[in-house]
Chain A
Amino acid sequence: MTVKYKTIKEIKKMISQKEISHKEIIQDVYKLVKENSNLNAFISLNEEKSLKKAENFDNNPSDCSLAGIPIAQKDLFCTKGLRTTCGSKILDNFIPPYTATVIENLENAGCISIGKTNMDEFAMGSSNETSHFGNVHNPWGDNLVPGGSSGGSASAIAAGIVPAASGTDTGGSIRQPASLCGITGIKPTYGRVSRWGMIAFASSLDQAGPMARTAEDCALLLNEMCSHDIKDTTSLDNEIPNFEDNLNNSLKGKKIGVVKDLDLSSLDKDVIEVYENSLKEFVSMGAELVDVSLPNLALSVPTYYVVAPAECSSNLSRFDGVKFGRRSKNPKSLEELYVQTRSEGFGDEVKRRILIGSYVLSAGYYDAYYKKAQQVRRLIKQDFDEAFLSVNVIMTPTTRGPAFDIGSKGSDPIQMYLEDLFTISANLAGLPAMSLPNGNIDNKPIGLQIIGNFLDESSILNFGHMYQTKTNWHMFSPEGVIQ
């Protein structure tokens, strides 16, 4: 009896039918972690405490919604007593004295946090090649990237080690690795999930969300992850629906926005074919396709690469070697302590973004870059507001192609930035968006992106779940179709 490749729903059933004990589940998960150590998906494990929590569930059965479900947590969430590195050398010894709200929510619902997943350093990257702890490998191919920045989370699910993981998404960091690893993941509406205890990258864009095998499992996780948190001033106090309620709603008459300004000419014809086949599938379920215009979409990547570095340069100023994390050895002065600690502790991509941020925020350039980008950000949001007057959801490919080889993007950072071409606009506008597997190209998975209106995660989950009742792309694993 194994939980390899099982969904949350299936594991819940195995538990309720007493086919497996809680302890056996966790033992099996650690066996799978060890068998897949070549993926480098985990930075730290939490074996002793996880086994203890499982034994507790065996001795005192719980009716919590996710009791005993193993979950991997992105190493960007603070976890009390468990090392939290954010993929960086500067935090390689950091053991937080508190736990992030979203992790606490999941653990209160019964989830067992089995370990912390590898990631691009401070979530800055789209291939998991910027981690201080080494590249993560994609289980779909020896030399393939898993995407990033939540690459360890995506890889661990795709390999069948865990049914669920947490991720964070600032410009596509849940959806892009979900696409490249053939799993399902959601970035919720900005403000739905508390950011307290999440190590900040770009505060007006960062949002945590669930990663799993299916839209249905994402709904189960999202039910527990969302909360109003007074410790996060941008946490929304709007009503949180039960995200399972509308999963099976009919799609008849529902409208899918197809972005007419989207330049698909640079994509392989296989990618376009996979995308168009998915749209046809939705039409066969009764949905209608409606052209929508997002004229400023092409400016979303340049807008992001002003706004995100600006916020990052400010947020990362807290890493100075004084109060926590790594400190350089034998600094002669306080100034030298700051400079040496940061220069030794940050990797090249993080430094590049801090420098860009300092540049666009500096006195002579603030209006030309930072203010200008914020104005374009409003134009992008207004385009979405207008589009959602006539459609329920908007669909695009999630990525420009399937997983690429480690090292293949060369040393030009802009080539990597363009990986997030289709995902960034949802972060700029604060909208919920999901990626789910919708095809295979050369035996590598690829995803479809479904963007929803503000606070309307229920619609994207509904479209996603209905798609997964009609297709089996989410059932594909690197070892073939899961039986």
Chain B
Amino acid sequence: MDKKTVTTISYLSRLKIDPEKEEKITNDLENIIKFVDQLNDAETSDIEPLTNPLEKTAKTRTDQVTAKNLKKELLEIGPSSNEDYFLVPRVVE
């Protein structure tokens, strides 16, 4: 875990690391990765990954509209919106 890796994963995470916290975060991440490296002790060559304890595929249901139209309520709780859309800084010039 070096500075370059931390820069890459913070970009992927859309997080900005305060310069004064950078060293501590790099060390913490390094220690956590070292800690989880214990997993290499387990022999797993023929083991299927377990994604979810239920191991069921998602159930299907009849394609019926059951949800209420909450457009107005949802737009109202947005940080910035007009009557139809959430507003963000201009993306296309």
Chain A interface residues (CB < 8 Å from chain B): 94-98, 190-191, 204, 230, 233-234, 236, 296, 298-299, 301-303, 305-306, 313, 317, 320-327, 331-340, 342-343, 346, 348, 351-352, 354-360, 362, 369, 371-379, 381, 411-414, 417, 428-431
CB atoms of A306 and B15 under 8 A apart? no
Contact partner of B49 among A236, A374, A430, CB < 8 A? A374
- A-B contacts besides A305-B35, A306-B36, A412-B28, 14 pairs, CB < 8 Å: A236-B54, A299-B38, A299-B41, A337-B88, A346-B15, A352-B25, A352-B28, A352-B29, A357-B13, A358-B13, A359-B5, A376-B44, A379-B42, A413-B32
CB atoms of B32 and A305 under 8 A apart? yes
Contacts of B86 in A (CB 8 A): 322-323
A340 and B13 contact, Cβ closer than 8 Å, known pairs A236-B54, A333-B89, A352-B29: no
10 residue pairs bridging A and B, Cβ less than 8 Å apart? A302-B37, A323-B86, A324-B77, A339-B14, A342-B15, A374-B49, A375-B49, A375-B50, A377-B49, A413-B31
CB atoms of A321 and B53 under 8 A apart? no
Q: How far is the CA of A387 from the CA of B44 in the complex (A)?
A: 20
CB atoms of B77 and A95 under 8 A apart? yes
Flag whether B58 is at the interface (Cβ < 8 A). yes
Flag whether B47 is at the interface (Cβ < 8 A). yes
Contact partner of A306 among B10, B39, B58, CB < 8 A? B39
Chain B interface residues (CB < 8 Å from chain A): 1, 5-6, 8-10, 12-17, 21, 24-25, 28-29, 31-33, 35-42, 44, 47-54, 56, 58-59, 61, 70, 73-74, 77-80, 86, 88-89, 91
CB atoms of B25 and A234 under 8 A apart? no
Contacts of A313 in B (CB 8 A): 13
Contact partner of A372 among B10, B14, B40, B58, CB < 8 A? B40
The smallest C-beta distance from A430 to any residue of chain B, in angstroms, reads 3
CB atoms of A359 and B49 under 8 A apart? no
Q: How far is the CA of A339 from the CA of B18 in the complex (A)?
A: 12
CB atoms of A354 and B13 under 8 A apart? yes
| Residue from B13, B24, B41 having most chain A Cβ neighbours under 10 A | B13
Contact partner of B42 among A296, A321, A323, A356, CB < 8 A? A296
CB atoms of B15 and A351 under 8 A apart? yes
Contact partner of B29 among A233, A359, A371, A373, CB < 8 A? A359
The smallest C-beta distance from A432 to any residue of chain B, in angstroms, reads 11
CB atoms of B29 and A190 under 8 A apart? no
Q: How far is the CA of A87 from the CA of B47 in the complex (A)?
A: 38
Residue of A nearest to B41 (CB): A299
CB atoms of A378 and B39 under 8 A apart? no
The smallest C-beta distance from B74 to any residue of chain A, in angstroms, reads 6
Contacts of A429 in B (CB 8 A): 53
CB atoms of A362 and B50 under 8 A apart? no
Interface SS majority for chain A:
helix
The smallest C-beta distance from B50 to any residue of chain A, in angstroms, reads 4
Contact partner of A343 among B15, B61, B78, CB < 8 A? B15
CB atoms of B32 and A414 under 8 A apart? yes
The smallest C-beta distance from A384 to any residue of chain B, in angstroms, reads 10
Q: How far is the CA of A190 from the CA of B55 in the complex (A)?
A: 11
Residue of B nearest to A348 (CB): B21
CB atoms of B47 and A373 under 8 A apart? no
Q: How far is the CA of A303 from the CA of B77 in the complex (A)?
A: 37
Residue of A nearest to B49 (CB): A374
Residue of B nearest to A327 (CB): B79
A412 and B9 contact, Cβ closer than 8 Å, known pairs A204-B53, A333-B89, A375-B47: no
CB atoms of A372 and B13 under 8 A apart? no
Residue of A nearest to B56 (CB): A234
Q: How far is the CA of A340 from the CA of B31 in the complex (A)?
A: 27
Contacts of A355 in B (CB 8 A): 6, 9-10, 13, 15, 25, 29
Contacts of B32 in A (CB 8 A): 305, 352, 356, 413-414
| Residue from B5, B14, B25 having most chain A Cβ neighbours under 10 A | B14
Residue of A nearest to B87 (CB): A322
CB atoms of A97 and B14 under 8 A apart? no
CB atoms of B12 and A97 under 8 A apart? no
A371 and B15 contact, Cβ closer than 8 Å, known pairs A97-B77, A414-B32: no
The smallest C-beta distance from B3 to any residue of chain A, in angstroms, reads 13
Q: How far is the CA of A332 from the CA of B88 in the complex (A)?
A: 10
Contacts of B10 in A (CB 8 A): 355
Residue of A nearest to B62 (CB): A230
Residue of B nearest to A370 (CB): B49
Contacts of B50 in A (CB 8 A): 374-375, 377-378, 381
The smallest C-beta distance from A167 to any residue of chain B, in angstroms, reads 19
Contacts of A339 in B (CB 8 A): 14-16
